[in-house]
Amino acid sequence: MAEQSREEVPETENHTGLSREEIINLLMEQMRYRQQLIDEINQIDAEIAEQTAIYQQNQLVAQQIDYEAQQLRQDAGPAVATEMDNVTGGPHDD
């Protein structure tokens, strides 16, 4: 049997009951599905990276705003700082 050419081996001798063509089609479908999943994962990774960058930028902006608000409080004096805190809900140094 080992000397038989490929053409002489019966189509269903692969113990699955499927023809070679059916097996190849199933494998190709599986490869396409796998690539689709990889593409979706890559897209999600890109979206996460973008959202992370936006979050980090927002954190920097928030820190800058907090710093500037603190400077304004110091420059304005205690009475104005207390009024600012009442409006913004910020810290009370009373």
Arithmetic mean of pLDDT over the chain: 84
Q: Say which residue the tokens 């890109």 belong to.
A: 46
Q: What is the pTM of this model?
A: 0.56
Lookup: tokens for 16: 């699955």
Has residue 80 been placed in a domain? yes
Nearest Cα residue to 12 out of 27, 23, 26? 23
Has residue 16 been placed in a domain? yes
Total tally of structural domains belonging to the chain: 1
pLDDT in tens, 58-76: 999 999 999 998 888 788 7
CA angle 94, 62, 59 (to 5 degrees): 135
At a CB cut-off of 8 Å and minimum separation 6, what does 43 contact?
A: none
Has residue 93 been placed in a domain? no
Instruction: Print the domain residue range for 72.
Output: 6-88
- What percent of the chain lies above the pLDDT cut of 70? 80
